[in-house]
Chain A
């Protein structure tokens, strides 16, 4: 039998089983740790660092770090929320995020994280303003990586769930972007029913299902009234039907 133990998150006692990540134990206990690259059903990747917490004083990513018995984890402290604000802001500066004209607005996890963290402050980061081509070749799907936050969720979903490898990173460093395994999407074996194309997979507005933008009116969108958290999912599946 696997070994059970407890540890603390912001002073609250949480149960864990040997091998659980901090995130898994927190989710099971109903404690929300902010996250972007980690999502239900995919292997954690640990790349966005929005889930940063302090475990016994050391900064770690909660989605990949195993929970430790009797440890103390800091989650929503002012210091850590400050780190998260900076991370989310940098993601905003790395892409072209014109929320007023974006199909994902209102159901976007990046935007929702901005709201949850109360981001309004002016920043001095430069805007990268990428000019990556939009791929609208496929009859059902559009790929606009100018809004990509490199969470790798489409890559993992296509590889691990669809068994297809439609998406992959190409290029290095500042030139890194998400590419497809063909000249364009229309030349791949991607299908609308793939998990990679599910509206809940891409947290932002990169992977768009044609004819499905703006399906919920303003005021009735996922994050209009409730901050992103456990149980407040990015896409309400009923509405996406």
Chain B
């Protein structure tokens, strides 16, 4: 039976999903043995059934990310944090430690929407529509929110790294990245 894989991008840039496409023609081999469930690659927004592998890109910066991550944990046997954002927060985590700031989230929003001469924002307000997910006080790594089975670092991890990871998992082996595939950048 084909293994089911679900993927999602939380507070990430989709670069890690692009890296998955970097496995090139091996994608055809992959599709012989797996089927994609919920994923932006097929635009399925909900789980259709339980999955063997969940790949999560990006950390948690808002409450919707936390909700989605918990859903992934509930629905996936093996949950993998893919990329530096998922592993340690990545670039978004910079807002946790803004220099000289007592209140980094406020400073981040004020710089983004109010105090920069590079923006056009006639309302002069920080967006607060109730349809927008509430931002968390800081950016959290996946492992700070749920149990994570594997962390695949890199920004993004290379296509080869992702291929190696998936091949090992599909063969029922533990993921131990060889030296050249382990990168934190």
* Interface residues, chain A, with chain B CB atoms under 8 Å away: 92, 96-102, 105-106, 111, 114-116, 118, 120-124, 127, 129-134, 146, 218, 224-225, 227
The interface residues of chain B lying within 8 Å CB-to-CB of A111 are 184-185
Q: CA of A100 to CA of B12 in the docked complex: distance in angstroms?
A: 14
Q: Within the complex, what minimum Cβ distance (angstroms) separates A89 from chain B?
A: 11
Residue among B88, B96, B143, B152 facing the most chain A CB atoms (10 A cut-off):
B88
Chain A binding surface SS class? loop
B150 at interface (Cβ–Cβ under 8 A)? yes
Instruction: Decide yes or no whether B41 CB sits under 8 A from chain A.
Output: no
Interface assignment of B101: CB less than 8 Å from any CB of chain A: yes
- Nearest-Cβ distance from residue A110 to partner chain B, whole angstroms: 10
Q: Are B179 and A227 in contact (CB under 8 A)?
A: yes
Tell me which residues across on chain A come within 8 A of B109, comparing CB atoms.
none
- Chain A neighbourhood of B152, CB < 8 A: 120
Q: Which 8 A-B pairs have the closest CB atoms?
A: A100-B155, A122-B143, A99-B184, A99-B185, A129-B97, A105-B185, A122-B148, A100-B185
- A92 CA to B153 CA, complexed, in Å: 14
Contact B185 A106 (CB under 8 A): yes
- A sample of 9 cross-chain residue pairs with beta-carbon separation below 8 angstroms, ordered by A number, consists of A97-B184, A98-B84, A100-B84, A100-B184, A101-B91, A122-B151, A127-B88, A131-B98, A218-B185
**Least CB distance, B184 to chain A, in whole angstroms:** 4
CB distance from A144 to the nearest CB of B (A): 10
The verdict on B99 contacting chain A, using a C-beta distance below 8 Å, is: yes
If the complex has contacts A99-B184, A106-B185, are A120 and B94 also in contact, measured as CB distance less than 8 A?
no
Contact B150 A120, beta carbon cutoff 8 Å: yes
A121 cross-chain contacts in B, Cβ below 8 A: 151
Check if A120 sits within 8 Å of B182, measured CB to CB: yes
Most buried by A among B94, B153, B185: B185
Whether B88 contacts A97 by the Cβ 8 Å rule is yes
Smallest beta-carbon distance B16→chain A, Å: 12
In the complex, A227 Cα to B142 Cα: how many Å?
A: 28
In the complex with contacts A98-B94, A122-B143, A131-B99 CB distance below 8 A: yes
Return B74 CB to nearest CB of chain A, in Å: 18
Also in contact, A98 and B91, with CB within 8 A (given A120-B150, A120-B152, A129-B97): yes
